[in-house]
């Protein structure tokens, strides 16, 4: 793949063709971020990450400050939750999501003062162990959508890791939140990478960006030119370029075994905004309490990239951006991997990159017809799975067959449903199959 060190690798370009070409619809890309005023209320779910749900540390009528720890779990895999505002706790309530998941949320009424918690102070970081501890206390999770606790991801043996991948692919249509981070905060991204490389001993980093973002590629190449350890890799704009196994293969030509981790093959992967947030946290000590989302769709009057406090209700965001027509579907996240919002009181969570509102014209219901055995779902799956076979095995609850078909490797990208002419609910079926198989695997290991 060419030389990897020094500026000579700045023109490095991947030619791997995994994934499919889909319309980008990134009309908000060149719109500078708008900061949304304080919402009327904050709804703060306790499960905004992969891992153990946090328990509320506050109760009704308590006063909280901005940046105050309000949710915590005594578990290794979790990420603390912090209040984005100063104000009063008005309620602890239940949430029921459209995908069947439930959660508990702290509801806070802002007092408008935004007084900052006394605990907020830049962390003291002197070595890699203290960097990991600092990030664990920052509330930062994978901000590209994964939601895996970032401090925990860093708390691994990196001695065999030779490249820190930084994911700026942002392959989902409509979303331009990461692109704006690259255009507006390239210095924070590069400072975060520099700190991680300096303290971890990982020798180099590759910022991976799809070729539909030439300005970001040019900007980061120019700004990183003085650091021979950091390169910018141009990847073809093919969905799902940003999926971890896909980007690993396309950027480094490496593959992870089933059940393995990227570190097994010498890589660690962060989303570009995650890297930037680490840098901001090290400077200010303010934990993750806000993020940028792309608000778009044919029902949105003023599409934009919007900085919102985590916990801002969907309805208040739609009101701020305006609706040009009645939305038939509101999606938290992108159109391929996001989840439908059924309650406009439900808030932005920290791993959410977008909020989309579509009219009936764009998301009218489609009739499902019988499979015509065209094999398009198989040919398009980036994980080389057979979605239709997995769907059949799932309907028979045939766990042995799901294991043989490796349903657990599904990354939920949505391509199989997108390409299916029969409109079979393949993504949903494979997602459920994957969950079932993983539960059985956990049981077999005696953890379930």
Positions in the binding site for ligand SF4 (CB under 6 A)? 371-377, 381-383, 385, 387-388, 410-416, 419-422, 424, 426-427, 430
Cβ(204)–Cβ(197) below 8 Å: yes
Query: Which is nearer to ligand SF4, 208 or 407 (by Cβ)?
Result: 407
| Residue 121 CB partners (closer than 8 Å, separation 6+) | 285
Peptide bond between residue 315 and the one before it cis (omega within 30 degrees of 0): no
Shortest Cβ 185–ligand SF4 spacing (Å): 31
Separation CA 242–CA 265 (nearest Å): 18
Name beta bridge partners: 269. Answer: 165
Query: Which is nearer to ligand SF4, 12 or 432 (by Cβ)?
Result: 432
Nearest C-alpha neighbor of 205 from the set 166, 177, 167, 236: 166
Shortest Cβ 99–ligand SF4 spacing (Å): 14
Shortest Cβ 426–ligand SF4 spacing (Å): 6
What angle separates helix 272-284 from helix 177-184, to the nearest 10 degrees? 50
Shortest Cβ 206–ligand SF4 spacing (Å): 23
Query: Which is nearer to ligand SF4, 56 or 414 (by Cβ)?
Result: 414
Query: Which is nearer to ligand SF4, 212 or 389 (by Cβ)?
Result: 389
Query: Which is nearer to ligand SF4, 54 or 409 (by Cβ)?
Result: 409
Shortest Cβ 386–ligand SF4 spacing (Å): 8
Shortest Cβ 429–ligand SF4 spacing (Å): 9
| Residue 147 CB partners (closer than 8 Å, separation 6+) | 48, 49, 50, 141, 349, 350, 351
What angle separates helix 272-284 from helix 186-200, to the nearest 10 degrees? 80
Query: Which is nearer to ligand SF4, 170 or 408 (by Cβ)?
Result: 408
Query: Which is nearer to ligand SF4, 85 or 413 (by Cβ)?
Result: 413
Query: Which is nearer to ligand SF4, 297 or 414 (by Cβ)?
Result: 414
Query: Which is nearer to ligand SF4, 144 or 414 (by Cβ)?
Result: 414
Cβ(385)–Cβ(181) below 8 Å: no
Cβ(39)–Cβ(320) below 8 Å: no
Shortest Cβ 31–ligand SF4 spacing (Å): 30
Neighbours of 91 (CB within 10 A): 12
Name beta bridge partners: 207. Answer: 166, 232
Shortest Cβ 50–ligand SF4 spacing (Å): 17
Shortest Cβ 374–ligand SF4 spacing (Å): 4
Shortest Cβ 151–ligand SF4 spacing (Å): 28
Query: Which is nearer to ligand SF4, 137 or 142 (by Cβ)?
Result: 142
Shortest Cβ 376–ligand SF4 spacing (Å): 4
Query: Which is nearer to ligand SF4, 17 or 60 (by Cβ)?
Result: 17
């Amino acid at each position: 793949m060419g030389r990897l060190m020094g500026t000579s690798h700045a023109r490095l370009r991947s030619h791997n063709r995994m994934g499919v070409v889909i319309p980008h619809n990134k009309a908000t890309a060149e719109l500078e971020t708008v900061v949304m005023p304080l919402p009327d209320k904050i709804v703060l779910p306790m499960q905004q990450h992969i891992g153990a749900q946090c328990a509320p540390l506050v109760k009704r009528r308590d006063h909280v400050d901005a940046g105050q720890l309000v949710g915590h779990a005594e578990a290794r895999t979790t990420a603390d939750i912090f209040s984005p505002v100063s104000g009063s706790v008005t309620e602890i309530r239940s949430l029921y999501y459209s995908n069947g998941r439930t959660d508990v949320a702290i509801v806070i009424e802002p007092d408008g003062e935004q007084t900052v918690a006394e605990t907020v102070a830049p962390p003291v970081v002197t070595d890699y162990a203290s960097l990991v501890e600092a990030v664990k206390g920052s509330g930062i999770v994978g901000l590209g959508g994964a939601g895996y606790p970032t401090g925990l991801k860093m708390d691994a043996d990196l001695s065999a890791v030779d490249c820190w991948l930084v994911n700026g692919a942002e392959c989902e249509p409509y979303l331009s939140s990461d692109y704006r981070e690259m255009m507006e905060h390239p210095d924070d991204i590069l400072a975060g990478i520099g700190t991680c490389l300096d303290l971890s001993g990982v020798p180099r980093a590759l910022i991976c960006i799809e070729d539909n973002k030439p300005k970001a590629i040019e900007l980061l190449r120019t700004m990183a030119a003085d650091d021979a350890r950091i390169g910018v890799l141009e990847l073809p704009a093919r969905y799902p370029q940003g999926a971890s196994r896909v980007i690993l293969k396309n950027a480094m030509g490496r593959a992870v075994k089933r059940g393995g981790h990227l570190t097994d093959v010498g890589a660690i992967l962060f989303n570009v905004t995650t890297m930037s947030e680490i840098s901001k946290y090290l400077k200010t000590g303010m934990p993750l309490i806000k993020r940028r989302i792309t608000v778009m769709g044919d029902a949105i009057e003023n599409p934009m990239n919007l900085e919102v406090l985590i916990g801002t209700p969907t309805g208040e965001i739609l009101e701020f951006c305006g609706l040009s027509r009645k939305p038939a579907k509101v999606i938290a996240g992108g159109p391929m991997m996001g989840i439908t919002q059924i309650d406009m009181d439900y808030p932005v969570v920290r791993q959410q990159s977008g909020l989309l509102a579509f009219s009936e014209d764009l998301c009218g219901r489609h009739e499902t017809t019988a499979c015509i055995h065209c094999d398009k779902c198989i040919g398009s799956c980036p994980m080389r799975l057979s979605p239709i076979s997995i769907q059949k095995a799932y309907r028979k609850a045939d766990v042995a067959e799901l294991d043989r078909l490796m349903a657990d490797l599904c990354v939920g990208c949505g391509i199989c449903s997108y390409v299916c002419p029969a409109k079979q609910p393949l993504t949903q079926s494979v997602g459920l199959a994957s969950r079932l198989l993983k539960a059985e695997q956990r049981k077999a290991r005696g953890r379930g």
